[in-house]
A = this chain, B = another copy of it.
Amino acid sequence: MAWLEAVYRVRASPHEIEAIALAIALEQSVEVPLAAVKDVGVRENIVARVQGIRALEEREFEVRLALAEQTMGGDPAQTLNMLFGNSSMHTHVELIDAELPGDLIEHCAGPRFGIRGLREKLKVESRPMTCAALKPQGLPTAALARLCEQFARGGVDVIKDDHGLADQTYSPFAERARACQTAVAAAQRATGRASFYVPNLIGAPKTLYEQARIARDEGVEIVMVAPALVGLPVFQELVAEHLKGIAVLAHPAWAGAARIAPAFLMGKLFRLYGADAVIYPHYMGRFAYSRTQCRDIADASRRPWGGVREALPVPAGGMVVERVGELVRFYGREVMLLIGGSLLVADDVEARTREFVRAVEDADAALEVDG
């Protein structure tokens, strides 16, 4: 019988922690009192086991459980269920990390492009990559397309929809995808340099799959999806079956709603379920993520992991051009820097974009010197 390890952070008093750890083990496997488990095979092969308890702080413990792989059956939804289904409702329990079952890894396979594939697509050999965001929503399609062209002329690698852009009347998905693809093509004819437009796919499965079809028909090569919002199992199916040849940028919307360590959710689960690049809030911006959390997310997304390709970390959320040097020193080269509002407040968006691109080149050159 194969077992995998899941790690939880649990708030409890020292005299309660053992009983609570046992309760979590039951909750995440058989969901009945042990007395109701009359079958010996189930007791031995299915009931989760407490592997270790370690004090972290005064009333905070790390609990390591062994969960039976066969309860998960290689299914992306059922795996989440067994890792944290009912315990998600226990406010004293957080899911910190877990090994993932081999048949799930086989089923999901992770990024189809990964960092190397993205570099080939974007034709960026070694420097940090750059990304800008089309917003605010509410602008008509033509205005978004104009903005897209300005970013492209400014030399940014990737231009993504704001995650708030869906299929609203003011900029419907199909119309927007076509106009923005046309805009990046026009800029490329002028500059000789390719930028990639990344539409945001959002909706229930039928809508998502239809948007994937439209994107492909328009020649789109990268799309954005928020896995926590559409549902991780749907995300996995979308990537595997409807985005062949198209790279995937994961957006963290709704993800923070989870009481799950961001490095595990965004760095590991998003990656395993198929994200080639993962956007997350960097600590210098307007979100409260810590320096350590950001480091952990980047590490989890880039760490060697058997046959699973690396995903590119994309720190974002209030980044400004003036701090690009700092960002590159923190993350190194295997990163995509996403700057939104700090480009849009400028009167001349194209010139400001050029500053951003140059700042990244300078920061890259400085690494060369330091290294």
Contact = CB atoms under 8 A, between A and B. Distances in A.
A31 B203 contact: no
A163 B73 CA distance: 14
Contact of A81 (B42, B70, B91, B226): B226
Contacts of A45: 138
A114 interface: no
A92 to B, nearest CB: 7
A176 B29 CA distance: 19
A226 B164 contact: no
Contact of A75 (B89, B202, B226): B202
A287 B88 CA distance: 10
Copies of this chain, complex-wide, total 2
Interface residues of A, number: 86
A74 to B, nearest CB: 9
A154 interface: no
Interface stretch (A49-57, A248-256, A322-330): A248-256
A117 to B, nearest CB: 23
A365 interface: no
Interface of A: 23, 27, 29-33, 35-37, 39, 41-42, 45-47, 68, 70-73, 75-78, 80-82, 84-86, 88-92, 135-139, 143, 162-164, 166-170, 202-207, 226, 228-234, 236-237, 241, 252-260, 281, 286-289, 317, 340-341, 344-345
